[in-house]
Amino acid sequence: MYLLIFWTAANSEEAKKIARELVAKKWVACASIIPEVISLFSWKGKGEEAIEAKVMFKTKKNYFPQILEYIQKHCSYEVPEVLQIAIRDGNPSYLKWMDELLK
């Protein structure tokens, strides 16, 4: 099963650093980074607002545990947002390219 993993990084530099490492490990086929998103959330009882970076990883389900553990160890957030969404279908040639990278 293919996955789209959403991760919110503290900033673009952190996003690029960790994304490059996950691509190099061949745990993700591609990482797309939106450099600035505005996030509104509650943290420790206080309303917060932050400019963060959103990352979308394209990968396979069997890599999710390693990706999650790596992000938790290497990102600056105490409780990082890491969410997975199943990819039910897609461009067959893109999925084939992912298969070739993620063996």
**From CA 39, how far away is CA 17, in angstroms rounded?**
21
Residue 59's pLDDT band (boundaries 50, 70, 90)? Answer: very high
Can you give the pLDDT at residue 103?
A: 79
- Specify the amino acid at residue 26: K
Token digits of residue 81 = 């947002």
Domain of 23 in residue numbering reads as 2-101
The pLDDT of residue 9 is above 90: yes
| Cross-strand pairs, 39 | 50
Number of domains within the chain: 1
pLDDT per residue as tens digits for the range 21-44? 999 999 999 999 999 999 999 999
The pLDDT of residue 7 is above 90: yes
Residue 67's CATH number: 3.30.70.120
- For the chain, how are helix, strand and coil distributed in percent, rounded to 5? 35, 40, 20
Phi, psi for residue 53 in degrees, rounded to 5:
-115, 135
